[in-house]
Amino acid sequence: MQNQTETDAAGLRPQVLEVGTPSAPRRIAFLRRAGANSALPGLVWLGGFLSNMRATKASFLDDYAAKARRAYLRFDYSGHGESDGEFETGTIGAWLEESLAIIRAESDGPQILVGSSMGGWLALLCAQALAASGDAKRLAGLVLIAPAADMTERLIWDHLPPDLREEIEKKGRCFLPSSYSDWTYPITRELIEEGRKHLVLGGTIRTHCPVHILQGMKDVDVPWTHASLLVEHLAGDPVVLTLVKDADHRFSRPSDLTLLAQAIDSVAGIPPQGELKLE
Report the alpha-carbon distance of residue 27 to residue 4 in Å, rounded. Answer: 11
182 is an active site residue: no
The DSSP call for residue 149 is T
From 84, 150, 219, 221, the catalytic residue: 219
Amino acid letter for position 152: T
Buried b (16+ CB within 10 A) or exposed e, 240-257: ebbebeebbbbbbeeebb
From 107, 249, 256, 265, the catalytic residue: 249
23 is an active site residue: no
From 51, 78, 83, 117, the catalytic residue: 117
The region, left, alpha or beta by phi > 0 then psi within -120 to 50, assigned to residue 245 is alpha
How many residues appear in the chain? 279
226 is an active site residue: no
Report the alpha-carbon distance of residue 241 to residue 234 in Å, rounded. Answer: 11
Report the alpha-carbon distance of residue 154 to residue 149 in Å, rounded. Answer: 8
Catalytic residues: 117, 219, 249
